[in-house]
């Protein structure tokens, strides 16, 4: 910690600086999240759709994608761009700039599931510890 008696505010020898990469401070709840994100970013879209995502996960990702991307319709996107930018909207922007890739939503759903699995694990660990304390008290 910073020494309050020190006019320069120098660090003590045992002070740890918190940062995003400080595993002990930030990754206890969701270990390996960075590695998981890197892994799914490298997997092909075909493998995401056909091997990693369950049917429900795929439907959830598609629903989120459609909700944020003109119902998944390029025609609806084009119509909206005409309303905003006029008939020569294509000189200002493109459909691809205004619609996200569905892959982002597939990865999001997998990250959500990853976190939910760790939440369940930690809850089981906590409940197990509570049961142990209770049985020790009896």
Tens of pLDDT along 20-37?
444 444 456 777 888 999
Length of the chain: 138
Rounded CA-CA distance 61/55 in Å is 10
pTM of the predicted model as reported, rounded to 2 decimal places:
0.68
Nearest to 106 by CA among 37, 42, 49, 29: 49
Q: How confident is the model at residue 67 (pLDDT cuts 50, 70, 90)?
A: very high
In a 13 Å sphere around the CA of 105, the CA atoms on its Cβ side amount to 18
In a 13 Å sphere around the CA of 18, the CA atoms on its Cβ side amount to 4
Strand, coil or helix: 58: helix
């Amino acid at each position: 910690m910073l020494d309050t008696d020190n006019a320069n505010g120098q660090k003590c020898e045992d002070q740890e600086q918190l940062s995003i990469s400080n595993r002990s401070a930030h990754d206890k709840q969701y270990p390996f999240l960075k590695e998981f994100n890197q892994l799914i970013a490298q997997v092909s879209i075909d493998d995401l759709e056909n091997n990693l995502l369950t049917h429900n996960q795929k439907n959830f990702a598609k629903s989120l994608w459609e909700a944020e991307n003109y119902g998944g319709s390029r025609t609806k996107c084009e119509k909206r761009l005409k309303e905003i930018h006029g008939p020569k909207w294509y000189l200002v922007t493109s459909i691809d700039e205004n619609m996200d890739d569905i892959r982002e939503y597939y990865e999001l759903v997998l990250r959500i599931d990853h976190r939910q699995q760790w939440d369940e694990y930690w809850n089981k660990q906590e409940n197990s510890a509570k049961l142990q304390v209770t049985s020790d008290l009896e």
